[in-house]
Structure 1
């Protein structure tokens, strides 16, 4: 199957996923490394975000990441700003269920998404943005083959300090070589 590996599978995100996404979106430990604002959201705000941003965009594809054993949603991944003319997109990966952190689920999910992006959609380039203090994510992205392409200096104020935002990208030929 296109969207499964040994431990995870993807399914299209639906409006019903707003409830679990709301839980992740309001967990500060989960959002510390992915959300620039660190605001708490009402359920209505989360539902509106899911409907308009995640599901309502004509230039994105979003999938819930499921643990294959339990079929439980453990995160969300997306290709956004899909540009088929220039064969590029930006990817997003969030593992929302903390008991799945540090066990390779992010790696497995990102590889599934990149396989889809490069082998099915025939994209030439996939980019991402990551907070510079998120050492584990940066190491994962570099292990997969992403290259650092730039820095937005001191773009994020978190925990009393300014932090950089790293811009990273990987080309189709680099991913195939990995």
Structure 2
């Protein structure tokens, strides 16, 4: 699949308020294809992140992306992320499966000792997936997440090698 085809898929996902409800704050700001395209191009150039596509192997369909950002070679740590843009795959256990796979790669291939993440308290499905993947709650950032006119807490979770 060519980058422009992948970008077109991201254009659809990022413009869907339901899909991006709990996602990156930058997704909330991007409105035009040009903004999304620029973000996507920067993602491809980011050498401090481990980025992987999430593909349904039964039909070779791109359904999202995942990885570990802000990798610190000094601290042997990074921040996990996942974005399943195709709504038809939500709530099917894919998040748990992908999370376990990427965490394993982070520990085995990247040599990390700690992988953390933050998640909105309202994103119950994600918290369940991360818990099933053995992430532990470390703390809460009060009112650190603003969506739909309200502040919500962000949960800090992490897993150690």
Q: TM-score, normalised by structure 2?
A: 0.91
Task: Look up the match of 1:116.
Answer: 105
Select which of 3, 12, 20 maps to 2:9: 20
Residue 32 of structure 2 corresponds to 42
Kept in 2: contact 1:15–1:50 (CA 8 A): no
For 2:62, what is the secondary structure of its paired residue?
Answer: strand
TM-score (norm 1): 0.83
Gaps of 5+ in 1: 1-12, 173-178
Q: Is the contact made by 1:132 and 1:166 (CA closer than 8 Å) also made in structure 2?
A: yes
Partner of 2:67: 78
Structure 1 residue 126: Cα displacement? 0.4
Q: Which residue of 2 aligns with 1:140?
A: 129
Contact 1:15 1:51 in 2 (8 A): no
Runs of at least 5 residues in structure 2 that lack an aligned partner in the other structure: none
Pairing 1:1-178 to 2, within 5 Å after superposition: 15-16=3-4, 17-36=6-25, 38-52=28-42, 54-172=43-161
Q: Distance in 2 between matches of 1:133 and 1:100?
A: 19
RMSD (CA atoms): 1.7
How many pairs does the alignment contain? 159
